[in-house]
Each structure stands twice: as C-alpha cells, then as structure tokens.
Copies of this chain bind each other. A is one copy, B any other.
Amino acid sequence: MKYCSNCGQPVSLQPVEGDERERFVCNACNTIHYENPKVVAGCLPIWEDKVLLCRRAIEPRSGLWNVPAGYLENGETIEEGAIREVWEEACAKVSVVGLQTIYNITRINQVYLLYVAELIEPTFSCGIESLEVKLFSEADIPWDEMAFTSSTFCLKHYFEDRKKGLLQLHTASYPTVF
C-alpha cells in the first residue's frame, strides 16, 4: 500500500494509539488502513463413494487438481461462498453437510474453510476456471497432481474419517506434513 484509498495522498506505516501493530496511515487525512487475512471458502462435493475435483485452468497451479474453492465475497456467508465456488468452477449444485477443514496459510494471509457437501445430482461441467471436472474414487485421486496442500489435507482426512463413519473438523496450518 502506497497511497490512501480515501484521498489519494501517500500513506506510511505508523504506530496507532491503543494498537500493538503499526498500520498504514494517510499522511494527509489520517485514515487508518487495516489489512486482514482473506477467507477462501470451498466444498468437497460427494457423490456416492466419489469426490468431485477440478483441474485448474488458471494460475497459480494451472493444470493441477483442486477442491473447488475461492475467495469469500462481501455480502455472502461462508457457506454461500463455498456453494457459489462449486457452481462457478464445476457447474454443480451441492448441499452442505458440515465444515471439515480449517487450513491457515499465514505466509500469504489466507484461511481456507472447506465443507463436505453432497452433490444434489451427478451433473457437472467445466466453469471458466476449470480445464476438467471429474468424480474420483479414493483409489484414483491424483495425489501427485494436487494444486494446493489445503486440498490434500481435506481429502486425506475425509477418506480416513469415512472409514470410521465420521465427519469431523480438522485444523492445520501450512506447511503440514501428511
């Protein structure tokens, strides 16, 4: 951040009264500009014993597979964002079952919140951000071609828990060892 979004004049990092952190403050109008992590919302869509993954058509990690997810937008709940992302990336409609993954990537100020969700019908196709959308059984998951460790974390725990008849929340931070 170099300039104030309120008045267009330069900002600088400054101490702020009652705040432990320095913030970008406008040198002209004194507006304090806070920067905070972003939520990435998504779903692991399930149909029978299979899960739906998308092969990314965009950078980063274009060509690799992912659980459909993306930035939560203003005006939507986390579940609404997660459902929208499945629609945008996989043209599929889902019903949320429960929150399954919280995955923090502090280095880039992202928090992934991934839900397990049921496909309402086994109908899907590529959204503009996907090269391919496909149902995978556990044995066929392309573990070596996953785009992000958040998806690997989500999938590993989903299959482990399913064998025990469980659906539960798992939390981790990048980097995670599997």
Quick one: closest B residue to A104, CB to CB?
Answer: B77
A39-B7 CB under 8 A given contacts A76-B106, A102-B78, A171-B79: no
**Residue from B5, B106, B169 within 8 A of A75 (CB atoms):** B106
Chain B residues, CB < 8 A from A39: 36-37, 39, 111
Chain B residue, CB-CB nearest to A99: B169
B74 touches A109 (CB 8 A): yes
Check A18 for interface membership: any CB of B closer than 8 A: yes
Tell whether A33 is near chain B: CB-to-CB under 8 Å. yes
Determine the chain B residues whose CB is within 8 A of the CB of A33 once the complex forms.
5
Check if A30 is an interface residue, CB within 8 A of chain B: no
Main SS class of interface, A: loop
User: By the criterion CB–CB under 8 Å, are B36 and A72 in contact?
Assistant: yes
The answer to whether B5 touches A128 (Cβ under 8 A) is: no
Instruction: Report if A61 contacts B (CB, 8 A).
Output: no
Measured as residues with beta carbon below 8 angstroms from the partner, the interface class of chain A is 35 or more
- Per-position contact with B for A105-120: 1 when CB-CB < 8 Å, else 0? 0100101000000000
The answer to the question of A35 belonging to the interface, with a C-beta cut-off of 8 Å to chain B, is: yes
Shortest beta-carbon distance, A178 to chain B, in Å? 18
* Cβ-closest chain B residue relative to A10: B8
The winner among A35, A36, A169 for most chain B CB atoms within 10 A is A36
The residue on B at minimum CB distance from A174 is: B77
User: Is A72 touching B37 in the complex (CB atoms < 8 A)?
Assistant: yes
User: In chain B, what residue has the closest Cβ to A1?
Assistant: B5
Closest to A21 in B: B73
Contacts of A77 in B (CB 8 A): 104, 106, 111, 173
Residue from the list B20, B38, B129 in contact with A36, Cβ < 8 A = B38
